[in-house]
Amino acid sequence: MTAIRVVAFGGGHGLGASLRALRHSARDLDLEITAIVTVGDDGGSSGRLRVERDALLPPGDLRQALAALADDHPTHRLTARLMQHRFAAMSMAVPTPAEGRGPRIERRADRSEDTLAGHAVGNLLLLGLIEMLGDPVAALDHAAEMVGARGRVLPMARHAVGIEADVVAADGSHVTIAGQHSVAVADGRVTSLRLVPRDPPVCPEVIDAVRAADWLIFGPGSWYTSVLPHLLVPALAAAIVASPARRLVTLNLSPDRETAGLSTADHLAALHWYLPQLRVDTVLADAKWVGEPEPVRAAAHDLGADLVLVPVAVADGSPRHDPESLGAALVPVLGATR
């Protein structure tokens, strides 16, 4: 029996939760997992590398996907932990000005003096591999071997993209916000989203994975900056629509800042707004967090999907997906293709 080929779209912590869940599902199902990761990150370490090194791809979300797929061998787990390690600001000991001797004074290094502060080891590793090999897919495949990844990690586009949004602010004014980080923290309601450039090149491996997939999974994650961007890449969107795969949407447990004011049903409507031809088979949500289910069920129906309500949140009451619970919920859905 051949493996079930699953392609998961997203970025950051949301995609990480989905990939960890699929790792749990793989205990019961033979899965071939591919992560397709957004490449618009312009904040933190990734943003600095885009500016300071003209990085071909922002590595942060790619690194997180690799870490989520790392297998359980101690060497691979340690390598994954190393990739996730982030350098803290360094405390520097300097001599007193008088003679260069005597008590030493502890002070925080200025960012200009401590160029490693804030960078994750894996970001620098991926940057180096891409520069050495000249091929982002080859670089990611090599990094995947280093962590024993139980799947493949691919970039949404072959080079970094920008994200722009038109936003209606609280005072009713219309503004354009540029940059993934700025869009993610913008106050107001997003009315339009686009990529810069609008038609970025896509790696052939991405198109091949989508065409060969049995399931395409969208979410959870930041809707405007991690999930929807995949639908805005023309070549990728066309492949998603044309793919014979079934499609599943995992809904967030609570709105984040960029989707403040949007209902859960609105999240599903946004998928249709940005890719009207998209049809979905299953929408997965947590009954406790989804609120009144009927509007969500109706929005799912508009996409052609059934709504499945299952407990997938962590037990401490916070709005985070529990990988084991989400993985268990995915087993009967993904296994239904058999």
Q: Mark which of 94, 119, 144 sits at the end of a domain.
A: 119
Residue 32 confidence (pLDDT)? 98
Residue 103 confidence (pLDDT)? 52
With a pLDDT cut of 90, the percent of the chain lying above it is: 77
Mean of pLDDT over the chain: 91
pLDDT digits (tens, 9 = 90+) for 227-269: 999 999 999 999 999 999 999 999 999 877 788 778 899 999 9
Same domain, 214 and 264: yes
Do the strands 215-218 and 246-250 form a parallel or antiparallel pair, or are they unpaired? parallel
* Of 61, 59, 82, 75, nearest in space to 19 by CA: 61
Q: Mark which of 119, 142, 165 sits at the end of a domain.
A: 119
Asked if 165 and 176 count as a contact pair (C-beta separation under 8 A), the reply is: yes
Q: Mark which of 119, 143, 170 sits at the end of a domain.
A: 119
Same domain, 41 and 170: yes
Calculate mean pLDDT across residues 170-176: 88
Helices (H), 112-233: 121-133, 136-146, 180-184, 204-212
Same domain, 222 and 315: yes
Residue 102 confidence (pLDDT)? 52
Q: What's the CA angle centered on 210, arms 11 and 17, to 5 degrees?
A: 30
Same domain, 100 and 198: no
User: Which of the four pLDDT bands, split at 50, 70 and 90, describes residue 178?
Assistant: very high
Same domain, 148 and 224: yes
Same domain, 284 and 244: yes
Please list, in sequence order, all residues whose beta carbon lies within 8 angstroms of the beta carbon of residue 223, skipping any fewer than 6 positions away: 252, 256, 258, 259, 262, 267, 270
Enclosing domain of residue 38: 4-84+120-337
Same domain, 136 and 147: yes
**Could you give the CA distance from residue 218 to residue 95 in angstroms, rounded to a whole number?**
55
- CATH number of the domain enclosing 266: 3.40.50.10680
Same domain, 46 and 187: yes
Same domain, 45 and 138: yes
Residue 105 confidence (pLDDT)? 47
Same domain, 115 and 198: no
Residue 123 confidence (pLDDT)? 95
Count: domains in the chain: 2
Same domain, 45 and 181: yes
pLDDT digits (tens, 9 = 90+) for 30-89: 999 999 999 999 989 998 999 998 989 999 999 999 999 999 999 999 999 999 999 988
Same domain, 130 and 223: yes
Q: How far is CA 84 from CA 70, 73, 77, 81, 118, in A?
A: 12, 17, 11, 5, 11
